[in-house]
Amino acid sequence: MSSITSKPFGTTEDGKPIRLYTFTNAAGMSADVSDLGGVIVALRTPDRDGAFADITLGYETAEPYLRKGPYFGALIGRFANRLEGAAFELNGAEYALAKNDGDNTLHGGREGFDKKLWDAEIVEAPNGAGQALRLTYVSPDGEEGYPGTLRATVTYSLTDDNELVLDYEAVTDRDTIVNLTNHAYFNLAGHAAGDIGGHVLTIDADKFTPVNAACVPTGEIREVDGTPFDFRKPTPIGPGLAKTDDEQIRNGGGYDHNFVLNVGGEKLEKFAEVYEPTTGRVMEAFTTKPGVQFYSGNFLNGSEIGKGGAAYGKRSGLCLETQYFPNSMKHKNFPSPILRPGETYKHTTSYKFSAR
């Protein structure tokens, strides 16, 4: 069973105290999570010799998380990833959003859920894992252009099997859209270990959603068979990244694509595994969501200085962001992200760490 301690982690621009919560389980794994954006600041997991290292990219203090950045470890909302033209139509009305990524909107707009100070409460974990951290953010009607007051709750827990579990819930008082995720960047060799090309990835997906040059899904759902997007068997990431003759690798600047999961639905099921051969660390990922954005950290360029002074270079971390598909208000063949009053958006995603 894990227990949680907390300490101050800086202040917001309007002077509110930010805290850092540290989970420790019986196996010695620990995780630091902040009430600022629900950011996973650190995750310490064992390698095959039992040596612990911090395997998630992040900053030492709260201040850089308040700036525009690569969303290290943060909760993303109301809408993860891109909506084309920074607008959507719902019930015949057009809603205009912030253009914060060319002509499109990305990760909730100018000030998404990653920049909000969430209300924090230590509760009993829903899965018997001891203490859990429940974060709540109430997004007012019209915030960032989205209709309806959205009450979002994300509960973090850590089991003795080294599984970090994120339970998401949201309710609304008007028809709206919602797509929440966490944007952790993992490097299983250690957060400062550099290029992730040697990581071996498996994703249980027969299909993915191709993107245009602005990284927005075109609406096509394409088979992964015979493409660099076939991760149905354990496959190192580097060789696919090198396939710059592939239009999709070019459009994404590497991997920056939504995979259509073969699993996902009512039951929490395994959809991916990442293995790092030099340390033996393994991350298994489970979800109830229909898609995952596999992002290979293509836009990192060494300008973000993180924990211990690490300069995070291009492709020094990878993200597996579980989600509804990006641009899913344009394409009716994608699962619908619409949430109506009386319904509950309810999803779970977890990451389980081991070594071999």
Tell me which H or E stretch contains 251: helix 247-252
CA 182 and chain centroid, separation: 3
DSSP conformational letter for 336? P
- For tokens 């060789």, what's the residue? 239
State which residue, 65 or 295, has the beta carbon closest to ligand BGC: 295
Find the shortest distance in angstroms from Cβ 344 to ligand BGC: 25
Nearest alpha-carbon partner for 146 in 353, 338, 344: 338
Q: What are φ and ψ of residue 59, in 5° steps? A: -105, 160
Q: What angle do CA 14, 71, 89 make, to 5 degrees?
A: 90
The reply to whether 311 sits in an annotated binding site is no
Q: Is 205 one of the annotated binding-site residues?
A: no
Q: Which is nearer to ligand BGC, 132 or 320 (CB)?
A: 320
- Spell out the residues 6+ positions from residue 169 whose beta carbon is closer than 8 angstroms to its own: 152, 153, 154, 155, 344, 345, 346
DSSP of 68-136: S---TT-EE-SB-SEEGGGEEEETTEEEE----BTTBEETTSTT-GGGSB-EEEEEE-TTS-BEEEEEE
25 binds ligand BGC, rule: CB under 6 A: no
Q: How far is the CB of 310 from ligand BGC (least distance, A)?
A: 17
Count of positions on this chain that bind ligand BGC (CB under 6 A): 9
125 vs 292, which CB is nearer to ligand BGC?
A: 292
Q: How far is the CB of 223 from ligand BGC (least distance, A)?
A: 21
Give, as ranges, the residues between 204 and 263 that touch ligand BGC (CB under 6 A): 215, 256
Q: Are 54 and 43 in contact (CB under 8 A)?
A: yes
Asked whether residue 19 is marked as a ligand-binding residue, the answer is no
Provide DSSP, 117-147: B-EEEEEE-TTS-BEEEEEEEEEPTTGGG--
What is the x/- site pattern for ligand BGC, positions 77-96, by CB under 6 A?
A: ----x---------------
Question: Does residue 143 belong to the site contacting ligand BGC (CB under 6 A)?
Answer: no
Residue 70 sits in the site that holds ligand BGC (CB under 6 A): yes
Residue 256 beta carbon to ligand BGC: minimum distance, rounded to whole angstroms? 5
Q: Which two tokens stand for residue 133?
A: 């951290």
Regarding 112 and contact with ligand BGC (CB under 6 A), the answer is no
293 sits near ligand BGC (criterion: CB under 6 A) = yes
Helix (H, G, I), strand (E, B), or coil: what is residue 234? coil
Residue of closest CB approach to ligand BGC: 70
Which of residues 148 and 264 has its CB atom nearest to ligand BGC in the complex?
264
Work out how close the CB of 243 gets to ligand BGC at its nearest, in angstroms, rounded to a whole number. 18
Q: Which of 286, 295, 324, 351 binds ligand BGC (CB under 6 A)?
A: 295
Is residue 321 near ligand BGC by the rule CB under 6 A?
yes
Catalytic positions, written as ranges? 183, 321
* Three-state DSSP state, 304: coil
Binding to ligand BGC (CB under 6 A): which residues in 298-317? 299
- CA-based nearest residue to 186, from 168, 202, 199: 199
CB 232 within 8 A of CB 202: yes
Residue 298 C-beta: closest distance to ligand BGC, Å: 7
- Residue 183 is labelled as binding a ligand: yes
Token couple for 287: 């979800």
* Residue closer to ligand BGC, measured from CB, 185 or 275: 185
| Position among 9, 71, 113, 208 found at the interface with ligand BGC (CB under 6 A) | 71
User: Which of residues 125 and 201 has its CB atom nearest to ligand BGC in the complex?
Assistant: 201
Annotated binding site for beta-D-galactose: 81-82, 183-185, 256
State the residues that interact with ligand BGC by CB under 6 A.
Answer: 70-71, 81, 215, 256, 293, 295, 299, 321
